[in-house]
């Protein structure tokens, strides 16, 4: 049996994220073309990687239908011009799709089945709203297997507020404002742009265009503005469009490889995968999912939360991040958490977001040689959490 090998994150890119809908950036763009653009950019940015050395392509989509169907990993690889010898497949773990693409391929690399692989995700929520074409089994409700709110993500966030009464709407709004401000600063400092791949756009009204920045951030956000927003999931509730991620379109991708193969090819990996874990929780409070998955990943790595110098937490809802922080005794404004901001500002094209977290962490690692370990984590629909722990290959202690 092959011995386990170290797995490294070589490079990650993404399209700018667009707002979903008839006026959004990608209203006239196919979902698979977003993935194709990302794969081509990964190959372009890493000329030392011969395309025929890519052993597998795994691409995630939550709604696997239409231009997000047809075994995206294979079809996008062909469309991107990879050799026909490169296989591919699709993954669905809702929001953690791209994260699962990375961990699935990493397991194969560690085992020796692959040397180099491409993982990513896409969601065109404008063309394919969450739940399109789905027929939930009536037994879920008839046999009370889940609460009726479990299939409506905003209602699960309201349930989380109930479970954590200390997390008020004011706290959620303050966290959301901070996310917008951090994204604006990260853009101003040039931290985001290096990982964005410009994407051609077109519309009947405007003709051809070029998407070069995220469409969703609202840098003019204020606390007063957030406080005035409606609470669509519950009368006098606490979850609003301002303290939740939006409905978005976009794609992400990354190259993962065995450490010795990256060295052989002259690639420049940014971080090493230390451990990963997924966990299940009650679907009606799916936002707590990152808590048990992180506890398990830390246990597998032999680490404690105090060892983690950077956290990239997907901001599906502010309350979900705050519940994680409260559980681990981390302050709402801890500088280790989402230093470039998060999904409340960037947007959350479901299955693609896991690799955005990784790409941002990798860039943060490069700027923070004092930090050894970082976490990427997210909640997942139907009551799950996913966590990956990474080691910074720029850590000064390695030198």
Binning pLDDT at 50, 70 and 90, where does residue 150 land?
confident
Cα separations in angstroms, 368 against 103, 188, 395 = 24, 19, 8
Window from 46-55, 76-85, 128-137 with minimum mean pLDDT: 128-137
Asked whether the predicted pLDDT for residue 169 surpasses 70, the reply is yes
To the question of domain 7-128+246-389 being in CATH 3.30.830.10, the answer is: no
pLDDT tens digits along 103-129:
999 999 999 999 999 999 999 999 999
Question: Does residue 134 carry a pLDDT above 80?
Answer: yes
Q: What is the pLDDT of residues 346-365, one digit of tens each?
A: 999 999 999 999 999 999 99
Task: Determine whether 379 is an active site residue.
Answer: yes
Task: Write down the catalytic residue from 124, 128, 161, 348.
Answer: 348
Query: From CA 207, how far away is CA 354, in angstroms rounded?
Result: 32
Query: What's the pLDDT tens digit per position in 27-65?
Result: 999 999 999 999 999 999 999 999 999 999 999 999 999
Q: Which of 124, 128, 161, 379 is catalytic?
A: 379
Residue 204 binned pLDDT confidence (cut-offs 50, 70, 90): confident
Dihedral angle, C-alpha 314, 315, 319, 320, nearest 10 °: -20
Mean local confidence (pLDDT), 9-26? 96
Residue-level pLDDT at 203: 84
In the chain, where the domains are located: 7-128+246-389
Per-residue pLDDT at 296: 98
Report whether pLDDT(398) > 80.
no
Residue 240 has pLDDT above 80, yes or no: yes
Catalytic residue among 95, 124, 128, 254: 95
On whether the CB atoms of residues 388 and 323 are closer than 8 A, the answer is no
Measure the CA–CA gap between 46 and 155, rounded to whole angstroms. 43
Grade residue 399 by pLDDT with cuts at 50, 70 and 90.
low
Q: Is the pLDDT of residue 2 over 60?
A: no
Stretch 370-391: mean pLDDT, rounded?
Answer: 97
Mark whether 95 is an active-site residue: yes
Q: Flag whether pLDDT at 253 surpasses 60.
A: yes
pLDDT, averaged across the chain: 96
């Amino acid at each position: 049996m092959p011995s386990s090998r170290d797995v490294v994150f070589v490079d990650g890119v993404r399209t700018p994220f667009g707002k979903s809908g008839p006026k959004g950036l990608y209203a006239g763009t196919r979902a698979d073309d977003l993935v194709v653009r990302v794969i081509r950019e990964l190959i372009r940015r890493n000329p030392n990687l011969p395309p025929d050395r890519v052993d597998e392509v795994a691409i995630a989509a939550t709604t696997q239908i239409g231009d997000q169907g047809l075994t995206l990993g294979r079809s996008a690889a062909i469309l991107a011009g990879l050799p026909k010898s490169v296989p591919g497949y699709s993954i669905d773990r809702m929001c953690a799709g791209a994260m699962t693409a990375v961990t699935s391929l990493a397991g194969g690399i560690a085992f020796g089945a692959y040397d180099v692989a491409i993982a990513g995700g896409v969601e065109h929520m404008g063309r394919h709203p969450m739940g399109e074409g789905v027929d939930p089994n009536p037994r879920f409700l008839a046999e009370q297997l889940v609460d009726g709110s479990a299939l409506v993500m905003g209602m699960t966030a309201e349930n989380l507020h109930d479970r954590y009464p200390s997390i008020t709407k004011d706290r959620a709004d303050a966290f959301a404002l901070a996310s917008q401000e951090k994204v604006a600063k990260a853009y101003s400092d040039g931290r985001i742009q290096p990982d964005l791949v410009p994407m051609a756009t077109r519309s009947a009204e405007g003709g051809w265009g070029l998407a070069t920045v995220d469409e969703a951030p609202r840098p003019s956000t204020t606390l007063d503005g957030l406080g005035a927003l409606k609470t669509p999931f519950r009368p006098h509730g606490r979850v609003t469009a301002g303290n939740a991620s939006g409905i978005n379109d976009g794609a992400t991708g990354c190259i993962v490889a065995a450490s010795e193969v990256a060295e052989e090819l002259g690639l420049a990996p940014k971080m090493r995968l230390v451990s990963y874990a997924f966990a299940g929780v009650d679907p009606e409070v799916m936002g707590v999912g990152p808590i048990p998955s992180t506890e398990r990943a830390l246990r597998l790595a032999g680490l404690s939360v105090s060892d983690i110098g950077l956290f990239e937490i997907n901001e599906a809802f502010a309350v979900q991040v705050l519940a994680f922080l409260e559980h681990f005794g981390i302050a709402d404004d801890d500088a280790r958490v989402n230093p470039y901001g998060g999904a409340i500002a960037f947007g959350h094209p479901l299955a693609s977001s896991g690799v955005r977290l990784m790409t941002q962490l990798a860039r943060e690692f490069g700027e923070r040689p004092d930090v050894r370990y970082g976490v990427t984590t997210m909640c997942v629909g139907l009551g799950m959490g996913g966590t990956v722990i990474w080691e910074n290959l720029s850590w000064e202690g390695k030198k």
